[in-house]
Structure 1
Amino acid sequence: MKSVRPPLFRTLSALGLGLAACLSTVLPAQAAGLSPLEQRWVNGMAPVIVQARQSGLPLDVAVRPEDAPDAAPVALGFVNGRCKLVLSLRGNPEGEATLARIPQGLESAALELMAAHELGHCRRYLDGAWFGLPAGFAASRIPEGLSPELKQAYLSMKSTRREEGYGDLVALAWTQQQHASLYGQLHAWLVSERSRDYIPGDHHDTLAWLRLASDPAALGKGSIFEAALSVWEQALQSEE
């Protein structure tokens, strides 16, 4: 049976907010005690972290101190009104494997992209919009014949997929604004990541959004959050 790898991105709520009690909070400039791999991830994501804090986002960086072999390398949690950018790299082969899959020369920009994806989740939490649809949109009908448990799982999957699509577009908006010359390469890398262990329509199937954003001109103006909205809503018209 084919094993399923952990997704590259995940929300901390999917891991359980009980993790918050066992996280070590770090700052990019004060990361003593981190492993070389953890330091590489923190340093690579630092430009996004710094800009987020300068813009007023309540963002903390946290590293799980225990082994987490089945976790996504990076995740986003929301605890007591603050966003937690969580790295789970100890005892986790996917941390090294993710870096190995990034084309040479794109490592730092790809780490920024991953951090910016999590900022998309942070913004949605702060706006009280998590799992919500924009005005004028209605959720698609639930397939008939599902048990109550499966109905709930279906709704969760659809909602998570929407949020992952928005996060990917925020990440690409960051890339467009900060690394315009690398946009095509990073977009292709993100598509390849989303195509691994691909299951159409599952939680991390964001290819509908990525196809619409193959040309950076498709993204809007303004902040990275504003730039993502028009393409996000365009895909929702067919996905909902």
Structure 2
Amino acid sequence: MRRLFTFLALLATALAPLARASDLTALETRWLQGASPVVLHARQTLALPLDIVVQPQDAPGAAPLALGFADGRCKLVLSLRGNPEAQRQLDDIPPDLTSAALELMAAHELGHCRRYLDGAWYRLPAGFTAARAPATLPADLQQAWLDMRSTRREEAYGDLVGLAWTREHHPEHYGRLHAWLTAQRSADLIPGSHHDTLAWLALAAAPGSFQAGGSVFEAAEQLWRRGLAD
């Protein structure tokens, strides 16, 4: 009952003036309920400027859960209406892992939020040098290649934050959720593309791969740097 009251309070705070909780679909409510522990932690413990945006229009083909950034605030955006991908993603999760998997996905977006707030988006840490685009690529594709590598790094960091959250909050499910995330990243994989984070996931195969103590961001940073070095 306490979780229900907390969740309803979160909805009332997050969605007014966007919408009343009664305006939400069952699917939107389920996604929000799953993300709520991460959102509450971000706001109450980490004091991150995080808003929730539930898209009221149909959004076929959009990522069901994504992170935007505007006016110095992170926007956790749900695009679920008219979007079959939203239900498909839920259906791909074993039922007993649904809540923990939704938390992992929300924590992934929280990793993006932290990078935006730090002004570090697309930037390499000190001591690392960005690769040059292959000279064989046409000039108009070289920037696209560099952007793809940068996106891949950011996606890897987000995945590691999600797994660090799982290690801290759902250690009993870590192995299965790591396998689920690896399967998601392996599906229709183009090696080296935007969502090819498998090299980093391999480093995080066991929960003990993360250093103990510190925030989920600090835990992710340590493995992320190892992946960059390799």
With structure 1 as the length reference, what TM-score do the two structures score?
0.86
**Which amino acid is the alignment partner of residue 178 of structure 1?**
H
Q: Does 1:222 align with 2:214?
A: yes
Map residues 69-148 of structure 1 onto 2, 5 A cutoff: 69-148=60-139
Residue-by-residue CA offset, 1:122-176 (whole Å, 9 max, x unaligned): 0000000000001100012210122332011001000000000000000000000
List alignment gaps of at least 5 residues for structure 2. Answer: 1-13
Task: Name 2:4's counterpart in structure 1.
Answer: none
Q: Does 1:31 align with 2:24?
A: no
Q: Does 1:194 align with 2:185?
A: yes
- SS of alignment partner, residue 21 of structure 2: coil
Counterpart-to-counterpart distance in 2, 1:158 and 1:186: 25
Identity percentage of aligned residues: 62
- Answer 1 or 2: higher relative contact order, Cα 8 Å, separation at least 6: 1
Verify the 8 A CA contact 2:34 2:100 in the aligned structure 1.
Answer: yes
Counterpart-to-counterpart distance in 2, 1:102 and 1:161: 23
TM-superposed CA distance for 1:26, in Å, is 1.9
Counterpart-to-counterpart distance in 2, 1:83 and 1:215: 30
Counterpart-to-counterpart distance in 2, 1:229 and 1:72: 25
Counterpart-to-counterpart distance in 1, 2:187 and 2:197: 12
Counterpart-to-counterpart distance in 2, 1:90 and 1:228: 32
- SS of alignment partner, residue 85 of structure 1: strand
Counterpart-to-counterpart distance in 2, 1:170 and 1:200: 22
Q: Does 1:154 align with 2:167?
A: no
- SS of alignment partner, residue 105 of structure 1: helix
Verify the 8 A CA contact 2:65 2:77 in the aligned structure 1.
Answer: yes
TM-superposed CA distance for 1:31, in Å, is 2.5
Task: Name 2:58's counterpart in structure 1.
Answer: 67
- SS of alignment partner, residue 178 of structure 2: helix
**Which amino acid is the alignment partner of residue 32 of structure 1?**
S
TM-superposed CA distance for 1:65, in Å, is 0.9
- SS of alignment partner, residue 201 of structure 1: coil
Counterpart-to-counterpart distance in 2, 1:110 and 1:31: 23
- Of the three residues 206, 220, 225, the one matched with 1:233 is 225
TM-superposed CA distance for 1:69, in Å, is 0.8
TM-superposed CA distance for 1:80, in Å, is 0.4
More helix by share: 2
Residue-by-residue CA offset, 1:209-229 (whole Å, 9 max, x unaligned): 001000111112310000001
Task: Name 2:31's counterpart in structure 1.
Answer: 41
Task: Name 1:7's counterpart in structure 2.
Answer: none
**Which amino acid is the alignment partner of residue 174 of structure 1?**
W
Verify the 8 A CA contact 2:133 2:143 in the aligned structure 1.
Answer: no
- Of the three residues 41, 58, 61, the one matched with 1:51 is 41
Counterpart-to-counterpart distance in 2, 1:31 and 1:171: 27
Q: Does 1:183 align with 2:177?
A: no
- SS of alignment partner, residue 83 of structure 1: strand
